[in-house]
Structure 1
């Protein structure tokens, strides 16, 4: 990033609300308030951008029943259901 800006862009509220309504149709939009913004570092390997999450099962490490979940800090909470589906499909 060229300039650090931790301000929340309030003009994005309508898009935010629209996405939330996909899984929470009865959302009371008056309860949505901007709280904070941050900068999330991106993973790089050998100088190239790397995916956000690394999920390794037996195929990758050879240990039956063990699943490694790497790089799942902040964005992992919002992607938890999709990550759970991926893990369930490893078995």
Structure 2
């Protein structure tokens, strides 16, 4: 599924179905990376039945991705996640 800032893919990680959000840009300014890392830090601490479970993230300047639990009722792309 493609959104305004990225694409979400269905993947498999350690035997679990996951959703992988791949952000569109290839290069990000330092302040965007810092903001993204702060958001990831917050997501790591959230635990609630109505919030997707955060499973991991990639925070390199060329590649921003968030991995969460997969919701089977959502429509996602099934193609491979770009490397």
TM-score, length basis structure 2? 0.26
Bigger radius of gyration among the two: 1
Structure with the largest fraction of strand: 2
Structure with the largest fraction of helix: 1
Higher relative contact order (Cα pairs below 8 Å, separated by 6+ residues): 2
TM-score, length basis structure 1? 0.24
